[in-house]
Structure 1
Amino acid sequence: MMYYIEQFVRNSIIGAHQYDTGNVNRDIKDKYIYDKRVLEYILFKALQIDLDTIIETTESNQTIYEIALDNDSILDFFERANSIINPNRN
C-alpha cells in the first residue's frame, strides 16, 4: 500500500504529466483516498516539499495565468481588449 501512496504523492503533488495505465490500482481512487491515515501522510509529504526546488513548467505557468485571469477582472478586461486590438499577438 505504501508503494501506491508514494506513487500517488509523486504523481499528484509533484506533478507528473503521464499516468501509467498498465499498472492500475483502483483502490487508490476508490478506497485509499478516503483513508484518514493516507490523507495525513499526503499532507505530511506535501508540507515537506522544498518550494525552492519546484520546477515551473509551461503548463503550471499557464494554469497560474488562467487563475489570475479568473480572479482579476481588470487583467481579464485588458487581455480581451488587447486580443481584439492585436489579434495576431501570441
Structure 2
Amino acid sequence: MSGGQLIWRTQAGTHCARCLEPSADGTFYEFVRPYNFTSPSAAAAVVLDRNSNGRLEWKVVGSRLSYHQWQEENAQYSEIAEAAIHT
C-alpha cells in the first residue's frame, strides 16, 4: 500500500477524492469523510476491492441476515401490515 490517498472510479464515472486515507499503521484504508454510494454493491466493491453483490455481502449488525434477507423480511411485514389496514 502506498502512503497516498486512494481514489476510486465507478462504472458511472463518479469518484471520491480524499474520502479514504491510509490508517495510522498503513495496513488498511479508512473513510475520513462521509460518502453516499449509489448502491450497496458499489459500496461493497470499494470496501472489498472487488466486484460484489452488496445485497449479499452486507450483514445486519448483530445477526447473520444479509441486506437482501433483511429487505425481503421487511417487505413481507409491510405487505402484511398493508393487507391488515385494508381489511
Q: TM-score, normalised by structure 1?
A: 0.24
Q: Which has the larger radius of gyration?
A: 1
Give the structure, 1 or 2, with the largest relative contact order (CA under 8 Å, sep 6 or more).
Answer: 1
| TM-score (normalised: structure 2) | 0.24
Give the structure with the higher percent strand.
Answer: 2
